[in-house]
Amino acid sequence: MTREEIIKAVKEHDSEQVKFAVADMDGILRGKSISKDKFIKSLDDNIGFCNVVFGWDANDAVYDNSKVTGWHTGYPDSLATIDLSTFRKIPWNNNIPFFLGDFQNDEELSEVCPRSLLKRISAKCKELGFQPKFSNEYEWFNFRETPQSLKEKDHQNPTPLTPGMFGYSILRSSLESEYFNDLFDQLRAFEVPLEGLHTETGDGVYEAAIEYTDVLEAADRSILFKTGVKEIAYRHDIIASFMAKWNINLPGCSGHIHQSLWDKNGEMNLFYDASGDLHLSKLLEQYIAGQLYCLPHILPMYAPTVNSYKRFVAGSWASTTVSWGIENRTTALRAIPAGKTSTRLETRVPGADINPYLAMAAALASGLYGIKNNLSLDISPTKGNEYTQSGNKALPKTLKEATDAMKSSDVPKELFGEAFTDHFIKTREWEWDQYSKQVTNWELQRYFEII
């Protein structure tokens, strides 16, 4: 749709409000409803949005270590830009017009804004003559709870939507068919089209794959998928959780990234080579080499929370080492030789708790690093079970360890710029500090009486 067509559609809509949102550092959509008149005015003047959205954590606690924003800045409004290309209507909310935004026109915040970062890296990719096509797939758990009931339980022992291990079960997906069908149909109506939706192994867990598209649109769809699922779930008195690992006895939740590079016209998949070994191109080998090299230096971009690292355990379907393989789901990277149009790389490190803009920016930037530096793929592909093999470097085991590694490396600054890297590292240090101060139930049960 053209700018004029979008404005006309908004003006003619029955609702007097327009919703728009921006993504914060944790991949949470922060937004508001505005009037039609304010929306139209903002298209020329941008719109004020308190810069605290990059100065607080997932629970609205303000950072005490940020240079970009903080009490020292007084938390002024910054200039947010509404991206007309993201126009959608919310089908489960009276088809209210909805837009995503970012801070591309704000000199300071544009450096740290996750969506703006991905736009910059995508632009660099296209300058090299490549069209990046991406998609996410997500696993998440569903619970027969409401926000109020979950609070009353102190977030302990939530009731799963369905019991038992029913991976790929047609039977279990029919048990909550109204919710299941709403997810597939209403997300598509929200222009977040799914390739597939099915049950996974675990109590009340689903998995969805989002359709492939340009990397920025893929990240937009990804973040809208997570919020959309949660909002649709609310309407069925269900809580949907994208926590990476909510239960020690159940598998974690992934947020795998599928990706390929195409020619500048988007007509030829450059990861496919008819004459190459397994039809994998030299370009793909360099891209894999770049991701493997950069992975230990940028892991918090894929694993941003304290809980993320609880997922990295052997036998959990999650990676534990810097490794790759052909159609191997025990490695960090899975190369998929699937023909001219579908040959791709799956980055299996991310959990469902990612900020998709940052995770896709990390995958694309590190892959391009391998291409630009002509890196050789020196790590041999894993054959068989990577969990039982030795030789490949282990991933950091905590957010602190991963953040310290990122802080001591020059690679992140080269990939993402100094301003973003400094701010992001500070947010992860804050996250670890908040965790370190807590007294957990495990500590009380273990030490309270006996020690």
Same domain for 365 and 274, yes or no, is: yes
CA distances from 319 to 95, 304, 396 (A): 40, 15, 11
Same domain for 409 and 384, yes or no, is: yes
Helix (H) or strand (E) holding 132: strand 131-143
Same domain for 205 and 320, yes or no, is: yes
Helix (H) or strand (E) holding 42: helix 36-45
DSSP assignment letter at 381? P
Q: What is the CA radius of gyration of the chain?
A: 22
Question: What is the C-alpha separation between 333 and 315, in angstroms, rounded?
Answer: 16
Domain with 404 in it: what CATH number?
A: 3.30.590.10
Rounded mean pLDDT, 303-323 = 95
Domain stops at, among 109, 140, 174: 109
Rounded mean pLDDT, 307-319 = 93
Three-class secondary structure of residue 200 per DSSP: coil
Question: What is the C-alpha separation between 357 and 24, in angstroms, rounded?
Answer: 10
Same domain for 226 and 91, yes or no, is: no
Exposure letters 237-270 (e unless 16+ CB within 10 A, then b): ebbbbbbbbbeeebbbbbbbbbbbbbeeeeeebb
Cβ-based neighbours of 364, under 8 Å, separated by 6 or more: 118, 121, 122, 125, 132, 134, 215, 259
The per-residue pLDDT for range 223-251, each reduced to its tens digit, is 999 999 999 999 999 999 999 999 999 99
Tally of structural domains, the chain = 2
**Do the domain assignments include residue 74?**
yes
Same domain for 302 and 393, yes or no, is: yes
**Do the domain assignments include residue 232?**
yes
Residue 277 has pLDDT above 90, yes or no: no
Same domain for 82 and 135, yes or no, is: no
Same domain for 391 and 254, yes or no, is: yes
Average pLDDT, rounded, for the chain: 96
The per-residue pLDDT for range 111-146, each reduced to its tens digit, is 999 999 999 999 999 999 999 999 999 999 999 999
DSSP assignment letter at 236? T
Domain stops at, among 109, 136, 161: 109
The pLDDT assigned to 449 comes to: 87
Question: Residue 102: which of 189, 187, 219 has the closest Cα?
Answer: 219
The pLDDT assigned to 250 comes to: 92
The pLDDT assigned to 316 comes to: 87
**Do the domain assignments include residue 234?**
yes
**Which neighbouring-strand residues pair with 143?**
160, 239
Question: What is the C-alpha separation between 381 and 110, in angstroms, rounded?
Answer: 39
The pLDDT assigned to 281 comes to: 96
Same domain for 159 and 200, yes or no, is: yes
The pLDDT assigned to 45 comes to: 85
Domain with 68 in it: what CATH number?
A: 3.10.20.70
The pLDDT assigned to 265 comes to: 93
Same domain for 208 and 265, yes or no, is: yes
The pLDDT assigned to 276 comes to: 75
**Do the domain assignments include residue 352?**
yes
Same domain for 144 and 105, yes or no, is: no
**Do the domain assignments include residue 440?**
no
**Helix H segments across 279-417?**
282-302, 356-372, 399-407, 411-416
Three-class secondary structure of residue 365 per DSSP: helix
Question: What is the C-alpha separation between 415 and 299, in angstroms, rounded?
Answer: 13
Range of the domain at 52: 3-109
Residue 278 has pLDDT above 90, yes or no: no
Same domain for 84 and 130, yes or no, is: no
**Do the domain assignments include residue 408?**
yes
The pLDDT assigned to 107 comes to: 87
Same domain for 183 and 135, yes or no, is: yes
Question: What is the C-alpha separation between 210 and 99, in angstroms, rounded?
Answer: 19
The pLDDT assigned to 444 comes to: 86
Question: Under a CB-based contact definition with an 8 Å cutoff, are residues 339 and 330 in contact?
Answer: no
The per-residue pLDDT for range 151-180, each reduced to its tens digit, is 999 999 999 999 999 999 999 999 999 999
**Do the domain assignments include residue 115?**
no
The per-residue pLDDT for range 358-392, each reduced to its tens digit, is 999 999 999 999 999 999 999 999 999 999 999 99
The per-residue pLDDT for range 173-221, each reduced to its tens digit, is 999 999 999 999 999 999 999 999 999 999 999 999 999 999 999 999 9
The per-residue pLDDT for range 18-77, each reduced to its tens digit, is 999 999 999 999 999 999 999 999 998 899 999 999 999 999 999 999 999 999 999 999
Q: Express as a percent the part of the chain with pLDDT over 90.
A: 95
**Do the domain assignments include residue 84?**
yes
The pLDDT assigned to 273 comes to: 96
Question: What is the C-alpha separation between 357 and 7, in angstroms, rounded?
Answer: 27
